[in-house]
Structure formats: structure tokens, C-alpha cells
Structure 1
Amino acid sequence: MTARTARQRLRDDAGSAVVEFPLVAVLIILIALTLIQCALVVHTRNTLTDAAVQAAHTASLEGNEPEDGATRGAQLVHDRFGEDYAVEVDADEKGEGVVRVRITATFPLIGLIGPSGTLHVDGHAIDEETW
């Protein structure tokens, strides 16, 4: 009789929900954190790209130099992310009258804390003085 009750207990699925919930919850939380991380990286990249394009436009205006665009790009990034955000802005003018602004910045790899990677974005504009 005890062998039969042990066999019935092994086939019975009572209590399986208690085990299934933590296993599924871990996967759902992992997927949610991955989506949040991807959104954070895309937001950072898009904001830096916009700052580079606006900085290139500023540098391309008549009477402005590439350094004015670099200053504007750094100002835009610091206004958006704060003064503690590590960013390097370079601006130069190519021979064919195109102004290029390159922003090199870090983006967080694990949420808002932890190690970070490097991101390079460019913005281009035609110099008005070459028209």
C-alpha cells in the first residue's frame, strides 16, 4: 500500500504552480530589463545624433567656425544628460565645404550604473560660405 501511495504522489501535480511561478518570473523580469536597456541605449544614441546634427548646422552658418559647432554640441549634450556625462566633441571642415561634428560619448551597458561602452555619432552639414 505504501508503494502505491508513493507512486500516486509522484504523478500528482499539486504544488507545481509554486515551482513554476519563480521560474517564469525570472524569465519575464530578464526580458523586461533587456527591453529597458535597449531603450536606454537607443535613446542615448538618438539624443547624441540630434546634438551632432544641430552642432553641424550651427557650425555651417555663415560667420561661424567649426569650433562654434563643437561648443554647441557639448552644450546640447550637457543640457540633456548633465555636466557629469563624459563627452568629447570634435568639429572639422572637409575640403569640399562639408562641416562634420563627431561626438564621442559613453553609454551605460547595465542600466544607469555599471560599466559603459563608447558611442561615436556624426553630424554633417554644408557650409553656407561655399554656396
Structure 2
Amino acid sequence: MITIKSTINASIDKVWEFWNKPEHITKWAFASPEWHSPRAENDLREGGKFSTTMAAKDGSMSFDFGGEYTLVKENQAINYTMGDGRKTEITFNETPEGVEIIEKFDPESQNPEEMQRAGWQAILDNFKSYVENN
């Protein structure tokens, strides 16, 4: 598994809401300013499904990122299986500095692991910036 992490300077309730509500997901779920997320759906419960469209702003490409939840513990943890069968584990830990988010995910086989780590970290960094500035 690949691990990324970040500490968000905000309350656990705000972090949880911004992580999971579609109206917030569309504001942060992309890795660079040339991309955006025009659509997000989220049924946050074990057995529930989620899907986020990530698209280049110039219209040159887009893809849907989605899966099914296997574990949901409010303000603590989310696990899911992606559409291709890979697993992801996310923990939310309250610390004196804010909420530490740790994401662990199975790599895919098409791109180097370092590229995958950098891409997922960029999205997590975008989330941090969005939460701390809104």
C-alpha cells in the first residue's frame, strides 16, 4: 500500500463534512489547477457508493473515480473498494495541531508508485488548502 498524510488545521466536524459532502468534494477533488471536479455523488454508509468526475478544464479528458464503502466510522475512519478492486483506508486523527488524515491505498499497475503517491498527495494538499481557507 502507498501512504500519504496531511494535518488539517480545522475541527474534526469541519474536516469530516468537507471530505464527504458533494458540494465540498467538487471544490477540492483534483490534483492541479488545470483540473476540476464538476460532479460528485456520495452515499456515505457501509455498502454505499461514491463517484466523483475529475476533468481537465480544457475539456481534453475526464474520468470518474468511484467505489463502494466497506467501513464508515464517523469522524474516525473510511475504507472503500475502488471500481477496479483496489482498497483504500483513511483515518482521521484529532491532534493538537488539527486533524491528521492518513490515506493508504493499493497502487495500480499502469503508473509508477511515486507518480501515484504525488498525485494523491496533491489532491490531499488541495483538500487541506480548501478546508483551511473556507
TM-score normalised by length of structure 1: 0.29
Higher strand share: 2
**Using CA pairs below 8 Å that are at least 6 residues apart, which structure has the higher relative contact order?**
2
Higher Cα Rg, which structure: 1
TM-score normalised by length of structure 2: 0.28
Higher helix share: 1
